[in-house]
Chains A and B, each alone.
Chain A
Amino acid sequence: MTGTASPAIHISGAAALQDETRSPVPSTQREGLTVSMLINGQPYQFNIDSRTSLLDLLRDHAGLTGTKKGCDHGQCGACTVLTDGRRTLSCMSFAAMNDGWEITTIEGLSSADGDLHPMQQAFIDHDAFQCGYCTPGQILSAVACVEEGHAESDADIREYMSGNLCRCAAYPNIVAAVKQARNEMEKA
Chain B
Amino acid sequence: MLPFDYERASTVREALAACAGSSEMPPTGAPSQFIAGGTNMSDYMRLGVTRPSHLMDINLIQDASLRTIEIGSLEIRLGALVRMSEVEDHQEISRRCPMLPESLKVAASRQIRNMATLAGNVLQRTRCEYFREISWPCNKRNPGSGCSAMDGFNRQHAVLGVSDACIATYHGDFAQALIALDATVEIAGQGANRRIRFAELHLQPGDNPEVETVLRPDEMITAIVISVPGWAARSKYLKIRDRESYAFALASTAVALDLDGDIVRDVRIGLGGVASVPWRAVPAEDVLRGKIFSEDLASKAADAAFANAKPREHNAFKVALGKQTLVRALMEVREMKL
Contacts and interface: CB of A to CB of B under 8 A. Distances in A.
A97 B18 contact: no
B14 A89 contact: no
Contacts of A136: none
A140 to B, nearest CB: 9
A73 interface: yes
A16 B4 CA distance: 11
A63 to B, nearest CB: 23
Contact of A50 (B4, B31, B39, B115): B4
A33 B7 CA distance: 10
Interface stretch (A108-116, A120-128, A154-162, A174-182): A154-162
B32 A25 contact: yes
Contact of A8 (B14, B37, B53): B14
Given A8-B7, A11-B6, A92-B39, A1 B31 contact: no
A13 B115 contact: no
A88 B3 contact: no
Interface in A94-119: 94, 96-97
Interface in B18-40: 18, 21-22, 31-32, 35, 37-39
B16 to A, nearest CB: 13
Contacts of B145: none
Contacts of A10: 5, 7
A171 B280 CA distance: 38
A182 B1 CA distance: 41
A141 interface: yes
Contacts, number: 135
Nearest to B106: A159
A19 B109 CA distance: 37
B42 A11 contact: no
A13 B6 contact: yes
A98 to B, nearest CB: 10
A11 B8 CA distance: 9
Interface residues of A, number: 55
Contacts of A9: 7-8
Nearest to B24: A23
Contacts of A25: 5, 7, 18, 31-32, 53-54
Given A19-B53, A93-B38, A94-B35, A1 B5 contact: no
A94 B108 contact: no
Interface in A1-50: 1, 3, 5-14, 16-19, 22-27, 33, 49-50
B193 interface: no
A21 B83 CA distance: 37
A19 B89 CA distance: 45
Contact of A141 (B6, B42, B111): B111
A53 interface: yes
B10 A162 contact: no
Of A27, A53, A88, most buried by chain B (CB within 10 Å of CB) is A88
B59 interface: yes
Given A50-B55, A89-B111, A74 B3 contact: no
Interface of B: 1, 3-10, 14, 18, 21-22, 31-32, 35, 37-39, 42-43, 46-47, 53-55, 57, 59-60, 62, 67, 81, 83, 85, 89, 108-112, 114-115, 244-246
Give 10 nearest A-B pairs by CB, closest first.
A163-B109, A14-B3, A162-B245, A50-B6, A25-B54, A162-B246, A17-B3, A12-B5, A86-B114, A92-B39
30 contacts: A1-B81, A8-B9, A11-B7, A13-B3, A13-B4, A14-B3, A14-B5, A14-B53, A18-B3, A22-B53, A23-B22, A24-B21, A25-B18, A25-B31, A27-B5, A51-B3, A74-B39, A74-B43, A83-B114, A93-B115, A94-B55, A96-B6, A145-B110, A150-B110, A158-B245, A160-B110, A162-B244, A163-B109, A163-B112, A163-B246
